[in-house]
Amino acid sequence: MTSAEIRRGWCAVLCLHVTTFLWVGNIKGLGVMLPTLTEQFTAQTWLMGWMVSIVAGVVCLTGPLASPLESIFGTRAVIMASGFAVGASFIAASFATNVAQITIVLALGCGSGLSFTNILSRAMMGRCFTSKYAIAVGIGHAGSPLGLIIMAPLVQVFLDTYGWRGTMLLMGGINLNIAVCGALLSQPSKESHEVKYTPVPSSVEECNTKPRGVCLEETMITIKNRSGISVCSKLSFWIPTFIFIFNGTTGVLWFAYFIDHVLAKGFTAYDAVLFTTVGGLSNVVIKILSGPIIDRRILSVRVALVIYILASSACLLVDPWMNSYWLMMVNVFIFYGSLGTVGALVDILTRELLGPELLASAFSWMKFVSGIAFFCFGFFPGWIYDTVGSYDVAFVIMGLTPALSLVALLVERLRPTDKSN
């Protein structure tokens, strides 16, 4: 690695760290605001919870645009613009007068901005690090538990002091820091893009020199290459994608509904914030420790995934019996420490199966597919609560979801070795 690549790589790590910090912090912050917003707009719980899931879903659905935008404007420009969009969306949401306005503003600005920043910084890391990649991934993804530790209690203080509109304004200012991280990035080399993408004919005259069918075919190939959709034809793409979908959906639902869930159990708002803080601390420790363990091959990525997936699944399955303070504390400590680390391990598995050059496309379409799941199931826990008056059934069903992702690892284990996949 050259010194420029090292610097670019660690700047990408910083950018990913800040992005994951704010991604989790924003979603969890909206979860903390869920009871207040429900009361403010006299809305049903499932509707407000679905709003949070829609924002998370747009983060994923806009993913396929990241790679084409990077090829046109460059990583630095896209991330800086995304940072301004995220901050501005929260500031605009503070002036909203109904749930629909908040949802649309945050979905378009916050959702798309966080999506582009997350995907491009992860892809840049994969291209820059030829060694110690697991450590870099662990540090980058450690922003998510820190976001849980810091933003959840901070939003609660903002909410108690300034109300929900003031909280939105302050969150908007905090999110503008993404643009600062983008400014630190140096422009990546264009060589890889020149190899990766087929140029579009530059003029009508050039296109007219070829048969119309050939010209159309070349244009479609260019669009296909720029969007990176061809990666979806590889089995090696779908293996980490299914793990990401099942575990990511569980994580988003937990962020959205956990505070309201523990309040329904009889805990206080500050107890709920403390639980999430402890879960964040657990995740920071596990992620940082997992990096050297994976890099030194003390534990393989696949074995670590099985351990963490089973642990997080078990915690949600026993959640109905977690009614005392310390039982809930231990449960959250194990749950988020395990589930949060799965996302970092999926990055490592994806790079191992597809290689560094396809990471931007893989992460984009991985998020797109998972976004559909967020849209479809985001209302589910809130709907169960409105129907039966308890989240217990919803959390048990959520506990079954991560375990389903183990099927993908089984398929990867049984598939015939084929480099084309």
pLDDT digit string (tens) for 361-373? 787 788 777 777 7
Alpha carbons 324 and 34: distance in angstroms, whole number: 23
Alpha carbons 294 and 275: distance in angstroms, whole number: 28
- The stretches of 74-142 forming alpha helices (DSSP H) are 75-93, 99-105, 112-128, 133-141
* pLDDT at residue number 254: 83
For the CA atoms of 162, 167, 170, 176, the dihedral, rounded to the nearest 10 degrees, stands at: 180
Place of tokens 């916050």: 110
Q: Decide: residue 203, CB within 10 A, 0-12 exposed, 13-18 middle, 19+ buried.
A: exposed
Sequence-separated (6 or more) residues with CB below 8 Å from residue 194: none
Tell me 405's DSSP state: T
Sequence-separated (6 or more) residues with CB below 8 Å from residue 97: none
State the number of CA atoms in the 13 A half-sphere of 248 facing the CB.
27
State the number of CA atoms in the 13 A half-sphere of 381 facing the CB.
32
- The stretches of 191-295 forming alpha helices (DSSP H) are 191-196, 204-208, 212-227, 235-264, 269-295
Tokens representing 76? 């630095």
Quick count: other Cβ atoms within 10 Å of Cβ 97? Answer: 8
Where does 3-186+230-414 sit in CATH, by number?
A: 1.20.1250.20
Alpha carbons 371 and 373: distance in angstroms, whole number: 5
* pLDDT at residue number 195: 39
Place of tokens 């183990």: 406
Tokens representing 363? 């992460």
Alpha carbons 218 and 304: distance in angstroms, whole number: 43
173 in Cβ contact with 84 (< 8 Å): no
Q: Decide: residue 310, CB within 10 A, 0-12 exposed, 13-18 middle, 19+ buried.
A: middle
Sequence-separated (6 or more) residues with CB below 8 Å from residue 281: 145, 149, 333
Judged by DSSP in three states, 299 sits in coil
Tokens representing 36? 């207040």
Tell me 210's DSSP state: S
413 in Cβ contact with 334 (< 8 Å): no
Alpha carbons 19 and 356: distance in angstroms, whole number: 20
CA 296 from chain centre, in angstroms, equals 27
- Ranges of residues in the chain with a pLDDT under 70 are 1-5, 43-50, 53, 56-57, 59-60, 186-228, 374-375, 378, 416-421
Residue 171 identity: M
DSSP 139-157: HHHTHHHHHHHHHHHHHHH
* pLDDT at residue number 416: 64
